[in-house]
Structure 1
Amino acid sequence: MLMLAESNTDEDDEHELRRFLLLSNGGTMRKLPLPEAQRQRCVSTHGWLLTTGEQEFYTKLVNPLTRAQVDLPRLYMIEELYFDQDEWMYYLFSMRKVVFTSPNPLSSDPSFRVIIVWGRIIGFCQPGDVSWTRIKGWEGHLFDISYHGARKRLYVVATMGAIYECDVTNDVLCPKALSRVTTFPGEEFGCSCVPWAYLLEWGCDSLLMVTRERYYFKKHDDEYGRYGPYRTSRFQCFVFGLDDGKWSKIASLGGKAVFIGFNSSFAIDGGEGVKPDCIYFTDDLYEPYHGLPEGGGGDVGIYHMFNGRIETLFESQESVFRSSPPLWLQTSTLPKIKGIK
């Protein structure tokens, strides 16, 4: 399901409600009370939200369906991360990704970790920690992170499709540092650059890298530069074999659907309202959300791998993306939750 952004109406009760687009229920809209996310910046993984607000830079995990919560260290406890109240908006919109090393933060799994991307920083913690731990060792711009459950490794994709890995659950290995695994051979596939990329587990011995290309209709103005009107134009998918070190391009997702955006990238089998061989995407250029007068978030849709067609997800925008991004939530517990309007 897709959790839409916070309402921008003047009605106080609407701010505590969040709308959800239920793909498995024919694309219907529902509302749930979620005051825990009110005026909070949110990213998502495994059906959970990582929220942070301006007050003291608190972070916590929130389950939007059960409303269970797990407190995490304050973000300013990340080593060498400088915070300034006057620059809050910059840092607020730099929280882009969160992944877990296992699905359930309420379990007693000693290897459970929460890993985040905050601007140019990767940090991780366990529930109960008093501070975050930095992970270092990559070059360029961070695109995405993914935890490979079978390999028990964190994987990172950065500029030009460079892939790095790190063992974040081994307490002996400290400080934590990434090591380069491979760099995407773009020339072999006719790709001169990697404009944006996502990474996810693809079977027990592979990674899937999805590249995203956007078309900019025109510059908004000199101040905002390239963040004028834009739309996603194309995705391409490449598989990297962790055992043989080989890259291959794929034209089909094999009946699966991939979900990307301000969530941890994931794939599920098509069916029950989810279209197979498609990429479901939301707008994750975070600068426009606060840098453009009309806000960000309009670049949302379904990309069909077979013919490159982009389908709108729903017709009415209703200004729901003006202040915060929509988020994909992977969960199978919705029918058991009471109080859905």
Structure 2
Amino acid sequence: MDWSEAFPELLDVVAQKYMVYYEDYLDFSGVCKFWHSIAAQAVTKVSYSNGLPSRLPSLFITDEKEDVEFRRLFFLSNRSTRKIRLPEVCGKNKSCISSSGWLLTVEDYIVEESDDTFDYTAAKLINPISRETIDLPKIDTCPGFVEHTDPDSEIRKVLFSIESPVVVVSWGRSMLGYCCIGDRNWTAIETDSGGMIFDITCYDGRVYYLDNYFRIRSCDVYGEDPVIVDVSQLPRCFYNIDLEVAYIIGLDDVDDGKKKLLVVIRELLDELMEVKVDGFEVRRYPLWRNIFETKSFHVFEYDLENGKWSKVNGLGKKTLFVGFGSSFWIEDTSGMIKSNCIYYTDHSPLHCQMLYRGYKRCKTEACRDMGIYHMCDRTIEPLLIEEKSCSNFTPPMWLQSM
């Protein structure tokens, strides 16, 4: 049978059932011109407002003008870009950050009533593909948030999964808060560590975070009274340089069946100077430089069962995705994603220490420090894309496949 001569009605039914992800559309439409036309018609009938989702991670890119209602997605499967309509995230005072394919948006606005001025900080979760929204309590209902009026009060990391009703955020130097969907207020988690939180992750029912003292700490946000407990600290014999940018990722090892935490250290070029901030010695780029460039990555694993640390020299068939927003791993069998690699996006020390003010400084270099780090030979392959993200508030970030 010549499938190019199949009944259009039959192909239309097949296309609508077969095309679940964007990559399915590529396969279907690539058969012949006739099938391409059928696929193009079928994709307009999907229930998603912004087209089919990708089976693979995609890159969320913001235009220079935050008040425009369009954003862009860069797909790794065929290196194409899709323009999506997302008015929910537009606004000059609105920032967003990703987690599990969702976006947490935070908008600062002022309402004047009589002689008093009230500051409100609205928060929402938005699915950029379906445009489904979930209202969250205002961020300023979280104890301790209002006291921080400088750029360090901005939210740095968020944890959310559609399977879980809990949302966890990290802001400032060492503050954590959480809420359940439907709550009226956020609940603060007392960290009492003095360290700067670099990254947070949810793994095996617990929240883990990594700070600048190489410490991993944890709490159970599903319990009645979440308490922070010390898990472990990366020995200095493994890595004896001050942390600049680092990530933590939970990993199930199918080979040995063990549960592990990966600590991924991002090492930048050594053109730094020492400056003192709040009594701490912090390594930072000179203020006259707008260039941030990744030098290498170092990966270590902590075995949650035996409590031992080890250096990771290879990831096997797995791939890590790190940068501003989500940090996660995948194991792709399609061959579209390079295994044993780390895909990374812009994420300078200023993003960690003076988040949005830092990005404003280096906006002309947006999408510059992006690449694919090969664990096998420790080389960097440029992640070449023509798109530029010049947003003052939102650097390019990975959207995890849902």
The answer as to 2:374 corresponding to 1:304 is yes
Counterpart pick for 2:184 among 103, 109, 130: 130
Question: 1:271: Cα distance to partner?
Answer: 4.1
SS for the counterpart of 1:160 is: coil
The answer as to 2:108 corresponding to 1:54 is yes
Question: Percent identity between the aligned chains?
Answer: 33
SS for the counterpart of 1:177 is: coil
SS for the counterpart of 2:347 is: coil
Alignment CA distance shift 1:48-1:117 (3 Å): same
Equivalent residue runs for 1:1-80 within 5 Å: 1-8=57-64, 15-23=68-76, 25-39=77-91, 40-55=94-109, 56-80=120-144
Alignment CA distance shift 1:314-1:165 (3 Å): same
Q: Deviations over 1:175-196 (max 9, x none)?
A: x331111110021x25343333
Alignment CA distance shift 1:278-1:58 (3 Å): same
Query: Which residue number in structure 1 is paired with residue 169 of structure 2?
Result: 116
Equivalent residue letter for 2:70: L
Alignment CA distance shift 1:192-1:215 (3 Å): closer
Aligned mates of 1:165, 1:318 — CA distance in 2: 37
Query: Which residue number in structure 1 is paired with residue 207 of structure 2?
Result: 154
Equivalent residue letter for 2:202: Y
Alignment CA distance shift 1:248-1:225 (3 Å): closer
Aligned mates of 1:168, 1:328 — CA distance in 2: 25
Counterpart pick for 1:294 among 349, 356, 364: 364
Aligned mates of 1:210, 1:234 — CA distance in 2: 10
Query: Which residue number in structure 1 is paired with residue 158 of structure 2?
Result: 98
Aligned mates of 1:83, 1:63 — CA distance in 2: 30
Alignment CA distance shift 1:231-1:74 (3 Å): same
| TM-score for both structures, normalised by structure 1 | 0.83
The answer as to 2:239 corresponding to 1:177 is no
Cα contact 1:216–1:226 (8 A) shared by 2: no
Aligned mates of 1:240, 1:71 — CA distance in 2: 36
The answer as to 2:249 corresponding to 1:249 is no
Please tell me whether Structure 1 or Structure 2 has the larger radius of gyration of its CA atoms: 2
Counterpart pick for 2:394 among 324, 329, 334: 324
Question: 1:282: Cα distance to partner?
Answer: 1.4
Cα contact 2:65–2:391 (8 A) shared by 1: no
Query: Which residue number in structure 1 is paired with residue 243 of structure 2?
Result: 194
Equivalent residue letter for 2:135: D
Equivalent residue letter for 1:251: N
Question: 1:80: Cα distance to partner?
Answer: 2.2
Query: Which residue number in structure 2 is paired with residue 277 of structure 1?
Result: 340
- Asked which structure has the greater RCO (Cα within 8 Å, sep 6+), the reply is 1
The answer for unaligned runs of 5 or more in structure 1 is 333-341
Aligned mates of 2:368, 2:100 — CA distance in 1: 24
Q: Deviations over 1:231-283 (max 9, x none)?
A: 01010111101111100001111111111112231100134321111111112
Say which is worse superposed, 285-294 or 125-134, in terms of deviation.
285-294
Equivalent residue letter for 1:283: D
Equivalent residue letter for 1:37: V
Cα contact 2:63–2:388 (8 A) shared by 1: no
Cα contact 1:199–1:208 (8 A) shared by 2: yes
Aligned mates of 1:293, 1:329 — CA distance in 2: 21
RMSD over aligned CA atoms reads 2.4
Query: Which residue number in structure 2 is paired with residue 336 of structure 1?
Result: none
Aligned mates of 1:145, 1:28 — CA distance in 2: 30
